[in-house]
Amino acid sequence: MGLFDRLKQGLTKTKQGFVEKVESIFKGKAIDSETLEELEEALILADIGAASASEIVEHLREKVRKGELGESGTVRDFLKKELSSLLGSGQKLVAFGEKPFVILTVGVNGAGKTTTIGKLASRFRDQGYSVLLAAGDTFRAAAIEQLEIWGKRTDAQVVRHQSGSDPSAVAFDAIEAARARGTDIVIIDTAGRLHTKSPLMEELKKVRRVCDKAMPGSPHEVMLVVDATNGQNALKQAQIFNEAVGVTAIALTKLDGTAKGGIVFAIKKELNIPVKLIGVGEKVEDLQDFEPAEFVKALFD
């Protein structure tokens, strides 16, 4: 199965919960205030967000008023254009600058952070990069073990400390080791919650500061991993993490498990943080670059 087919398959629930619902609203009906209200509700329920939904419906209302859109059959094409325009051209997660390229990975527990790191390591290794993983989620022994398994699986180096140790120290040692060894990429895992009195966001800010100390200008990418099935809660997480550590990229996981994949549009509209990676299944190759045009095409075609 090709990447596009995997994407289409992964978006099946979103398509059923959103696109097919929208089409049923206008089936055999005129575009009027009642159907427009239903459309706005469907957009909000798909987690596209109230601001985006209101704007899209207003644009549609304006087109109908000007006589540019009289038939309900053209609503589908209108929505495709609107949603594509909302997402823009998209950005990819690529290594740049001097070695190592440092990615600080953040997100709440259960979002699929460590698995996403492993899949990303696999991708970079396939591209010919050397990779070092830093087990910075020191408060969960299982996270350290999971990262070590991914290290073996992807032939990536792993830097770890004892469970419960300072995550900043792990980040510092990982970057130092990568610089000494000439490693291309460092991916740092972090805790999603802490079992100590130290607040998580303060801990993450410290990790970020220490990265810069170990290598000025790093981390080069702060990647937030969010679970698409959390819908609006994922948007809230993105806001909080962004305020604390300045998120530069989002990896949206578990899109195959939700009817609310519209959260992609809400994140772009309300936070303007680029979604760079999406997870549409369990396999390594199911972590894909987020291509806005392909995403919208997979939803509607």
249 and 119 both lie in a single domain: yes
- Over residues 248-263, mean pLDDT: 86
pTM for the structure as a whole: 0.92
Last residue of a domain, one of 87, 120, 137: 87
Q: Is the model's pLDDT at 72 over the cut of 70?
A: no
**Does 92 map to a domain?**
no
Position 272 in a domain = yes
Same domain, 128 and 273: yes
Note whether 80 and 197 are same-domain residues. no
Distance in angstroms (rounded) separating the CA atoms of residues 17 and 261: 9
Residue 128 has pLDDT above 60, yes or no: yes
What's the mean pLDDT in 173-200?
90
Structure confidence by residue, pLDDT tens digits, 2-53: 778 888 888 888 888 788 888 888 887 888 889 999 999 988 888 888 888 9
**How far from chain centre, in Å, is Cα 283?**
17
Find how far residue 31's CA is from the centre of its chain. Answer: 34
Are 83 and 106 in the same domain? no
In a domain, 182, yes or no: yes
Mean predicted confidence (pLDDT) in 240-264: 89
Domain final position from 87, 118, 146: 87
Q: Is the bond preceding residue 292 a cis peptide, omega within 30 degrees?
A: no
Say if residue 129 is in the same domain as residue 14: no
Give whole-number Cα distances, 138 to 33, 35, 146, 166, 186, in Å.
Answer: 55, 52, 12, 7, 17
Same domain, 243 and 279: yes
Co-location of 154 and 288 in the same domain: yes
Q: What is the pLDDT of residues 136-161, one digit of tens each?
A: 999 888 999 999 999 999 999 999 99
Gyration radius of the chain's alpha carbons: 21
- Residue 24: per-residue pLDDT: 86
Residues 109 and 73 in one domain: no
The secondary structure of 140-194 as a DSSP string is: -HHHHHHHHHHHHHHT-EEE---TTS-HHHHHHHHHHHHHHHT-SEEEE---SS-
The answer to whether residue 71 scores a pLDDT higher than 60 is no
More confident residue, 188 or 299: 188
62 falls within a domain: yes
Cα 165 to the center of its chain, rounded Å: 28
Q: Are residues 71 and 111 in the same domain?
A: no
Contacts of 216 (CB under 8 A, 6+ apart): none
* Tally of domains within the chain: 2
Percentage, residues of the chain above pLDDT 70: 97
Q: Answer whether residue 258 is part of any domain.
A: yes
| CATH at 70 | 1.20.120.140
CATH number at residue 210: 3.40.50.300
pLDDT band at 196 (very low <50, low <70, confident <90, very high): low
Q: Are residues 66 and 184 in the same domain?
A: no
- pLDDT for 270: 86
Greater model confidence, 37 or 71: 37
Q: Return the closest-CA partner of residue 192 out of 166, 165, 226.
A: 226
272, pLDDT greater than 60 = yes
**Per-residue pLDDT, 113:** 94
pLDDT of residue 169: 97
Q: What is the pLDDT of residue 15?
A: 84
Residue 35 lies in a domain: yes
Enclosing domain of residue 295: 101-300
Mark whether 39 and 109 lie in a shared domain. no
pLDDT of residue 73: 54
Is 196 a member of any domain? yes
- Residue ending a domain, among 29, 54, 87, is 87
One domain, residues 219 and 272: yes
Assess if residue 44 is contained within a domain: yes
pLDDT at 134: 98
Reported as a pLDDT band with limits 50, 70 and 90, residue 235 is confident
